[in-house]
Structure 1
Amino acid sequence: MFASKSLAAHAARGVIGLGTLAASALLARDLLWASIALLPVALVALRGCPMCWTVGLIQAVVARARGERPDGVCDDGGCAGGPAGRG
């Protein structure tokens, strides 16, 4: 649900998101407007909160270890876990 299609894409979003969060914290004392402007960039890159990104990272790593795609198995257009795959 939270994981990206590839581990590299997920890691890139993490570098951008966590980097902008760190920059926002460092700039908060001197340039408050820049700090506030960086927060939406971080939230978009992380797709919400840092915890959601962490859960997605764990899902991506587990899926890669199992040899699956992080978004589930959808070979014929119907996912095995969804309503279309149960019928």
Structure 2
Amino acid sequence: MKTTTREPNFASKSVPRHLARGALGFGLIAGSIALVPAVGPVALLAAPLSLIAFRGCPTCWTVGLIQTVSRNRLQRTCANGTCTLTTRTRPD
């Protein structure tokens, strides 16, 4: 009997798209902090927008980057209660 476990998926469709989301998120955080002397505390309102770009926190973004890079390269196989992680063989 094969059982499937739904794990959180933070991956993007492509690595460049994921990196763009990260650049936007980190840019919003850095920009909101850097603009405090010029604009005042209202600049900190941009920081929560980074959570939308990250789809959570920066750690979630990092996990998603790892998932995006490893997608279609690693394969988890479970049999008899034991799971193994192997590299996926690519057809030539």
After TM superposition, the score normalised by the length of structure 1 is: 0.66
Could you give the per-residue CA deviations for residues 3-61 of structure 1, whole angstroms, max 9, x where no partner exists? 11111111110010011111112123443101x22112211101110000001001111
Alignment correspondent of 2:60: 52
Q: Kindly indicate which of the two structures has a greater share of residues assigned to helix.
A: 1
Q: Establish whether residue 23 from structure 1 lines up as the match of residue 23 from structure 2.
A: no
> Unaligned stretches of 5+ in structure 2?
1-8, 76-92
> What residue identity is the alignment partner of 2:62?
T
- CA RMSD, 1 decimal: 1.9
Q: 1:23, 1:42 → 2: CA distance? A: 10
Q: Establish whether residue 2 from structure 1 lines up as the match of residue 7 from structure 2.
A: no
Distance change in 2, residues 1:67/1:6 (3 Å): farther
Q: Kindly indicate which of the two structures has a greater share of residues assigned to strand.
A: 2
Q: Percent identity?
A: 48
Q: Which one has a bigger Cα radius of gyration?
A: 2
> Unaligned stretches of 5+ in structure 1?
69-87
- More relative contact order, 1 or 2 (CA 8 Å, 6+ apart): 1
After TM superposition, the score normalised by the length of structure 2 is: 0.63
Query: In the comparison of the two structures, how many residue pairs are matched?
Result: 66
Superposition misfits of 4+ residues, deviation over 6 angstroms: none
